[in-house]
Structure 1
Amino acid sequence: MARRRSLRLHPSDGDDDVVSDEENLNDLSFYDGPPWHPPNVICDNLNESGIRSNGHLVQQRDVENVVKLLEEDCTVPFIARYRKEQTSNMEAAVIREIKSSLEELKAVQEKTRFHLLKLGKEKKLSTDIREKLCNSYSMEQLEQLVAPFKSGSKTTLAERARKAGLEPAAEKILGDKGLFNVQDYIQSEGCTRTAKEVEEGVQHIVAEVISKDKATVDYLRSCVKEMSSQIFLCVSKASQARKKTKKDQQVDFEKFQSYMDKKHCINTVRPHQVLAINRGEELKALSVKVSLPDRLNERFIHWCKTKWCSNTQPNSYAARIICISVEDSYNRLMAPMIMREIRSKLNKTAEKASIEVFTQNLHRLLLTPPVKGRVILGIDPGFKNGCKLAVISATGEIVMTDVSYMHTGNRYLEKRRMTDLIRKFQCETIGIGNGTACRQTEEFISEVIRSNSFHPLHVQYCIVNEDGASIYSVSPEAEKEMPKLDPNIRSAVSIARRLQDPLAELVKIDPKHIGVGMYQHDVPERLLKAALGDVVEECVSFVGVDLNICSEVLLKWVSGISAGLAKKIIAHRQRVGAFTNRQVLLDVKGLGPKTFKQCAGFVRINPSSNNTAEQTTKDEVIVISTSEDEEDVKPLARKRGKTSAGPSKRRKKAAPPPPTEPEPLDATWIHPESYEETRKLLKMAFASGKDIGSESIKHKLDNLIKSRGKESLAESIGVGEPTLDLIINGLQQPRNYDIRVEFEKPLFKQEIITIEQIMPGMRLSGRVVNAVHFGVFVDVGLADHGLCHRNHMPHHILQGKVLGPGDKVEVVVTEKKLVNGRKWNISLRLVGLS
């Protein structure tokens, strides 16, 4: 076996040094990593899981390049946008999957080291065991290999038997070394036992040895995989004894009625069903058991008897003990272990699928196009405490706040107040939170609009997802942003800003509180937080932020920028003035070339935002230094005429500051590392920076591509075709281009329909508000959202599109049913995409 240096990228690394026969197996100072090749393992796992990149199988060379970039601390958005040549234009979602797999493999490496050291200290490490451990690339394999070396609980039957001195007897039976005599073990060290007690103790030890044997466990798992279609989750109503765990706890059996007294095949059970069953079991409403087929028992026991009795004489005493031990091992140890593994695998698959739904929905929600340039009225609905109102300007500033008692006060006076407010601030856009009293508030606004009270204003309203608004309104960030403002009013401000710029507002809220998906509280918080955090970073980075007007909360989500660094950037902007170009970022303390490389392409310097930049270059710059090392000297901007704090400190003239002239390319998503190539392209097209985003540059570039060809053109300027495409798109996009315009816009309405008007067969337009494994929930203007089941979503209509929040759809009502006299269930069938 070869020595390894690290979690290596190339199989040939370190193959020169071979372990000699005389080498001390317990000396692990040489171990630095496994022999397996990470990209190989990751690539095989991705392809086995059915994950595709651009519709094709993931190639190993692309995985190798992604792993190298991740090891260099490159972020997922940076790799996805600026390293397309190395990854064959791989999607960000696939790169995230590779990143997650790499982290798991690193965890396996650390665990392998731990087990090797532990076994080495215990003098239990052999060449064979060491090689098997180093070749394990999953936690499951590792745990299986070290299981025989783990001392069981002192309360297990096998440990009790060992403590009673019966282990030599078990070893003799398994090895069949001579004739076994029970009488030899009846009396030992002053302890007298019966022959039956000796027999049972030996059986328990042999049963445990069988259950920890790798070949035996592997065979059982292969049988389970082969017979998986015959394995079921048997779900039933929990017994009275189970539900009486807490006196005050009321178990709602009705919620889980559809799962009771049913068998769910482990091959076909849906992820959302697994999570629902788990929740029912946790709430003591359901009882769940894994049902294994009898054929599995018979086949496995027959195989084990053949294997473990091969060294014994047929019909001998030892053979009889082993046969009994095999059955005991299966029934008491191995079958329960397999059942736990099945449940664990189902849970992991369901959790992963649930997180995928969360990330897809959050991605759609964050990329909802902003409603720019409008004065917006945000309404946080309520009954007793009134509806909280907040008017924000076209730039997001709070103009007015108030409370309206439209549901409990004088309705006529409240309509007059609402009319005067809308007219006064020329507000044609209203955002209504989707919480309590949402539909009643919608009816009130719709009624005022129909009365033509706002004429000539064209007033429209939109239902806004307010999940997490109440949590944010009482957070320290909200207190800092809106001091001395009532938390309830802050919620109304947040609702208005969510409509005006969803991304900028939603990043202030913990992603798990945004409420996209189902069962967010049933998946591991650590995994959910990491996955949703990656999506937020990707969305913020790809949309880009204006460095001179963005908030600290938004900036910290940009690729490569941490929360601490975002605070320093904002402090630099407040102290020195607006950034004139991207290179000035390098003046921020703690932001070096490595971080600049990761974040530079995702921050913009729009000309409109730096017109008021202070002319700091006119001031004299003085450097106060107490060190002879000029690399540690940091420039401090000081006004002319000011002196240093103390006479003992030496003053120096600082080196000339970096150019502070605006760079036209800083307003695009083109990375500074490609500026030289971009200028070559502009020169070849007879264009300049002033032409960026205009119609003229589009024609010039089109003509250049037609005359030279894209491949030849890319070679001429020294980049790959993917980077050339990125440069061309960056040059052609209009000023202040926002990628969110390509997604579905919010759905604005002026009137609503009532549940009485809804009849089966009616065709309606709606907006997807949530996507789950079994379909999508659609807002068709009713108090309750309708469910369009996945079976009612024809493939010829979807044409490969995956529906998510914000998508507009055409549906037909198939069923309307009142549940428990309080909630309407509306079933829908998809008939078209808007």
Structure 2
Amino acid sequence: MTDEKTIHSIADTLHIQPKQVRTALDLLENGNTIPFIARYRKEATGTLDEVQLRQIKEQAEHEQALADRRETVRQAITEQGKWTDELAALLEQARRLQEIEDIYLPYKQKKKTKASIAREAGLAPLADHFWEQDSTGMPPEAAACPYLNNAFPSIEDAIQGAAYILAERLSELTPYRRWLRQALWKTAKLECSLQTEAKEASSLLTYKDFSERISTLPSHRILAINRGEARKILKVTLAENTDGHIEKLVQMALRRSSPYTQIIKNAAADSYKRLIFPQMEREIRADLTARAEKQAISVFAKNLRSLLLQPPFTGQITLGLDPGYRTGCKAAVIDTTGHVLTYGTYHLTSSEKQYKDSAHALSNIIRSYGVSLIAIGNGTASYETEQFVSNLIQNDQLDCHYIIVNEAGASVYSASDLAREELPELDVTIRGAVSIARRLQDPLAEAVKIDPKSIGVGQYQHDVNQKSLSATLDEVVESVVNYVGVDLNTASAALLQHVSGLSAATAANIIAYRNENGPFCNRQELLSVSRLGPATFTQCAGFLRIKHSEEPLDNTSVHPESYKLTKKIVEHYGLTMKDVKHAKTLRELQRKLQMNAVPILAEKLQAGEPTIRDIIEELRKPGRDVRSELPQPLTRKHILSLDELKIGAIVRGTVHNVVDFGAFIDFGLKTPGLIHRSELCNHPFHHPTDIIQVGDIIDAMIISVDAERGRIGLSMKRLRDTENA
């Protein structure tokens, strides 16, 4: 159970009421999923959305981790008999894990160090004598004489041994560590130099003689530098004001002039160079990496969400093409429900005879099966395949369009157990073409079959913490699947297992029940599925759709627990639920439904306004696919070439990927164009995803063409400036 102090801390951070935090945590602790709470417990939480609920969950877990560490530290210090009220107060005030560790540092059991060896040799009293800084004390040499032994046989050795103890003590000064940490974050720089001139260093030439303050380093640079360092191409150092920082430590250590001042100064310099700064450098580098990874994962998550929400191309016979050189282009035609009609392999880049034979065969297939859309994978030989398709459409006057599809992960899916189960009669290479075609028909249903990390949006996904990346991307998939809703009678197990409350096991049980008993007739029938009880039903039912159910609300996001309330709303307008089944009377009801009636209905029916608002939204558009309101990706009939591009020309394209430094745009060329973040717009923004999203269709002006390097620079900002001129 989360304590009240933590609840108020979370509420203050997120600018919400403690009651909302308390309720959200109670619901989560009772096994409710975030999509379910966000959608169906709005009255209880005060309409907290998924983002806020995840923030509450994450901060509660963070606070719990801090509390656990505080308790561990308290117990460890208490066992040493050194626990004080002052330590208790300091520990309670610590808000970061590092602050707790700073407090614990002097009491932490250490491995064998120079200081511990000196202590074992009995030099601690000598170090204490120096530390007292008695202005009338005897000279250091005289003070050291009684402490000579086999380990430290000379006066110089004894003084040095005591200095090691002082250095360790100075390294544990919490106020200094706090001050230095702040100073380094303000002024320190990360500096890089090349360690090799080899070919693999060419991609990192930007970081030759590189220097930038750590406070301004963007995440993509941090991750690029880390990669270069890991590959031993870059030497990376943290540059800071060593002399100034040592002087500050000396000031904090010296209390008065004494015969031991120089020993204290030497110990401070040793402490800083040997103990404090190396530890701080590791801490800062780790913190920089953690921040960069968090940002990269966040961008990946935003891009993945946009990609998964791409609208489906419904009702079209689709030809999927998985391009290739030596092994040929794999082709598969699927019908409007994703079933394979025909397939084959065609050589488009070999001899002229093979080219003509392939053109003749594919032209016949397109006409015979009524193909209206062609999906071309964007991998190897994609450009040549696009040229082939463009010529085929024009030369044979075919009534179809094509679109380039991101094929990332298709090969992973093709060789998976799931692909073998779904397409047992097809070769692994043909399964890739089927996957490419299905990605157009229903991007979400196909994408959930692939590890999100393999989908290929974002940057540096292989350099970040893989556990954190996987957890975040799984949350995105869960969020999108439940936001869109799932057809209970057609969904695969791969899709069902992401529905609120369902696991891989219950998803498999649903499929088994469906195979044995036929399509589900209504949502209540879910309770007949093995190991799917009332609690699971409550979590999942509202997100599962049944198009031809005997209960019309089963094809909406209205939860079964609100069916009675929905019927009362319909009756309020003089109709019955039977009327909802018929198009004419449904339109009559929709004309009557107005959002300004929500408060009146809430008062009359003794129900919450958020729930009534959601019900009215569903009755106004029953069975709608929220993705259908988004613009579909661009289709084409012909291909562009670099020779056709001119500076100042306007092109239309689809956003392929968004990264920290800009966005890549597919506008029909082999290489996507880049809109640098400086060319997105005139007004300030935090990140390119604030301006542009994966899947957006945009117009941009060509501002640079580098044919030799295959680079095209685009600008949205200059296009708007031209339009407004």
Tell me which of 136, 148, 151 is aligned to 1:187. Answer: 148
User: 2:188 corresponds to which residue?
Assistant: 231
1:722 and 2:610 correspond: yes
The residue that corresponds to 1:810 in the other structure is 699
- Aligned position for 1:634: none
Tell me which residue corresponds to 1:794: 681
Q: Say which SS state the counterpart of residue 812 (structure 1) adopts.
A: strand
**Alignment match of 1:827 (pick from 710, 713, 724):** 713
Aligned residues of 1:169 and 1:185 also touching (Cα < 8 A): no
Query: What is the distance in 2 between the residues matched to 1:126 and 1:336?
Result: 30
Residue of 491, 505, 515 corresponding to 2:446: 505
Distance between the aligned counterparts of 2:222 and 2:22, measured in 1? Answer: 35
Confirm or deny: 8 A CA contact 1:170 1:203 kept in the other structure. Answer: yes
Higher helix proportion (structure 1 or 2): 2
Specify whether residues 771 and 351 from structure 1 end up closer, same or farther in structure 2 by C-alpha distance, changes over 3 A only: same
* Alpha-carbon distance, 1:153 to partner: 2.6
Alignment of 1:116-155 (within 5 A): 116-130=74-88, 132-133=90-91, 136-154=94-112
- Residue aligning to 2:229: 281
The structural deviation recorded for 1:80 is 2.1
The equivalent of 1:40 in structure 2 is 8
Number of residue pairs aligned between Structure 1 and Structure 2: 711
The percent identity for this pair of structures is 37
Q: Corresponding residue for 2:2?
A: 7
Q: CA deviation at 1:86?
A: 4.2
- What does residue 68 of structure 1 align with? 26
Query: Residue 744 of structure 1 aligns to a residue in which SS?
Result: coil
Select 1:420's aligned residue among 345, 348, 364: 364
Residue 265 of structure 1: which of 213, 229, 242 is its match?
A: 213
- Checking the alignment, whether the CA contact within 8 Å between 2:302 and 2:689 is kept in structure 1 is no
Give 1:478 deviation, angstroms.
1.1
Partner of 1:414, secondary structure, is helix
Aligned to 1:711: 599
Distance in 2 of aligned mates of 1:257 and 1:223: 30
Q: Paired residue for 1:51?
A: none
Instruction: State the secondary structure of the residue aligned to 2:710.
Output: strand
Q: Deviation per CA, 1:628-647, whole angstroms, max 9, x where unpaired? A: xxxxxxxxxxxxxxxxxxxx
1:84 correspondence with 2:32: no
Matching residue of 1:614: none
Query: 1:317, CA displacement in angstroms?
Result: 2.6
- The aligned amino acid for 1:107 is A
Q: Please tell me the residue identity of whatever aligns with 2:108.
A: K
C-alpha distance in structure 1 between counterparts of 2:168 and 2:361, whole Å: 79
Select which of 113, 118, 122 maps to 1:161: 118
Give the Å deviation of 1:286. 1.4
Q: How does 1:491-530 map to 2 (within 5 A)?
A: 491-530=432-471
Contact 1:692–1:732 (8 Å) recurs in 2: no
Deviations 1:142-189 (A, max 9, x none): 3222221223231x322222232222322333345894653354334x
Kept after mapping to 1: 8 A contact 2:126/2:144: no
Q: 1:801 to 1:109 in 2, by over 3 A?
A: closer
The answer to whether the 8 A contact 1:378-1:391 is kept is yes
CA distance change for structure 1 residues 186 and 371 in 2, over 3 Å: closer, same or farther?
Answer: same
* Equivalent pair of 2:34/2:50 in contact (CA under 8 Å): yes
Counterpart of 1:219 (choices 179, 182, 188) is: 179
Gaps of 5+ in 1: 1-5, 11-36, 47-56, 244-249, 611-661
**Deviation of 1:280 (Å):** 1.2
Q: Distance in 1 between matches of 2:691 and 2:576?
A: 41
Contact 2:322 2:376 in 1 (8 A): yes
Is 1:185–1:198's contact at 8 Å kept on the other side of the alignment? no
Q: Which moved more, 1:500-509 or 1:261-270?
A: 261-270
Cα displacement string for residues 264-290 of structure 1 (whole angstroms, at most 9, x for unaligned residues): 122222111111111111111212111
Residue of structure 2 in register with 1:752 after alignment: 639
Distance 2:80 2:512 in 1: 56
Alignment of 1:418-457 (within 5 A): 418-454=362-398
1:803 Cα deviation from its structure 2 partner? 1.3
Verify the 8 A CA contact 2:105 2:172 in the aligned structure 1.
Answer: yes
- Normalised by the length of structure 1, the TM-score is 0.80
Verify: 1:603 aligned to 2:603, yes or no: no
- Equivalent residue for 1:767? 654
CA offset at residue 342 of structure 1?
Answer: 2.5
Label 1:160 to 1:723 Cα distance change in 2 as closer, same or farther (>3 A): same
Could you tell me how far apart the structure 1 residues matched to 2:206 and 2:515 are?
A: 59
Once the two structures are TM-superposed, the CA of residue 602 in structure 1 deviates from its matched residue by: 0.6
Structure 1 Cα separation of the partners of residues 121 and 677 of structure 2: 61
Distance in 1, matches of 2:461 and 2:16, equals 30
User: Contact (CA 8 Å) 2:633, 2:697: kept in 1 or not?
Assistant: no
Whole-angstrom CA distance in 2 between matches of 1:328 and 1:192: 19
Distance 1:542 1:192, change over 3 A: closer
Paired with 1:755 and 1:388, the residues of 2 have a C-alpha distance of 27
Task: Please tell me whether the aligned partners of residues 166 and 185 of structure 1 are also in contact (alpha carbons under 8 angstroms).
Answer: no
Judged with a 3 Å threshold, the aligned counterparts in structure 2 of structure 1 residues 122 and 481 are, in CA distance, closer, same or farther, namely farther
1:376 partnered with 2:318: yes
Per-residue deviation, 1:682: 1.1
1:680 maps to 568
Q: CA deviation at 1:772?
A: 0.5
3-state secondary structure, aligned to 2:321? strand
Render the CA deviation track for 1:14-47: whole Å, top value 9, x for unaligned. xxxxxxxxxxxxxxxxxxxxxxx2233334555x
- TM-superposed CA distance for 1:132, in Å, is 4.1
| Kept after mapping to 2: 8 A contact 1:361/1:770 | yes
CA-CA distance at 1:594 after TM superposition:
2.5
Amino acid at match of 1:803: I
Alignment CA distance shift 1:722-1:287 (3 Å): same
Q: Which amino acid aligns with 1:99?
A: K
The one-letter code of the counterpart of 2:712 is: I
Greater RCO between the two (CA within 8 Å, min separation 6)?
Answer: 2
Distance 2:423 2:109 in 1: 59
1:308 aligns with one of 248, 253, 275: 253
What's the CA shift for 1:679? 1.7
**Whole-Å Cα distance in 2 between the matches of residues 60 and 217 of structure 1?**
34
Question: CA shift at 1:452, angstroms?
Answer: 3.2
Looking at structure 2, the residues matched to 201 and 58 of structure 1 have their Cα atoms a distance apart, in angstroms, of 56
1:582-631 superposed Cα distances (whole Å, 9 cap, x missing partner): 22222333323332222121111221xx6xxxxxxxxxxxxxxxxxxxxx
Are 2:448 and 1:488 equivalent residues in the alignment? no
What does the per-residue CA deviation read over 1:775-802, in whole Å, with 9 as the maximum and x for residues that have no partner? 1000111111110011101146999963
> Match for 2:334: what amino acid?
I
- In structure 2, give the amino acid aligned to 1:72: N
Q: Distance in 1 between matches of 2:578 and 2:383?
A: 50
Contact 1:207 1:328 (C-alpha < 8 Å) held by counterparts = yes
Shifted more, 265-274 versus 386-395: the winner is: 265-274
Following TM superposition, by how much is the alpha carbon of 1:140 offset from its aligned partner in structure 2, in angstroms?
A: 1.7
Structure 1 residue 66 displacement after superposition: 2.9
Sort the Cα spacing of 1:685 and 1:389 in 2 relative to 1 into closer, same or farther, 3 A: same
CA distance in structure 1 between the partners assigned to 2:57 and 2:118 by the alignment? 47
Q: 1:124 offset after TM fit, Å? A: 4.6
Q: Which residue of 2 aligns with 1:633?
A: none
Q: Which letter does structure 1 place at the counterpart of 2:359?
A: K
- Residues 1:320 and 2:277 aligned together: no
Q: Does 1:291 align with 2:209?
A: no
Judged with a 3 Å threshold, the aligned counterparts in structure 2 of structure 1 residues 789 and 800 are, in CA distance, closer, same or farther, namely: closer
SS in 2 for 1:522: coil
Structure 2 unpaired stretches of 5+? none
* TM alignment of 1:530-545, pairs within 5 A: 530-545=471-486
Inter-partner Cα distance in structure 2 for 1:785 and 1:434: 11
Q: CA contact under 8 A between 1:7 and 1:109: conserved in structure 2?
A: no
138-147 vs 766-775, greater mean Cα deviation: 138-147
Backbone CA RMSD of aligned residues: 2.6
Secondary structure at the aligned position of 1:828 is classed as strand
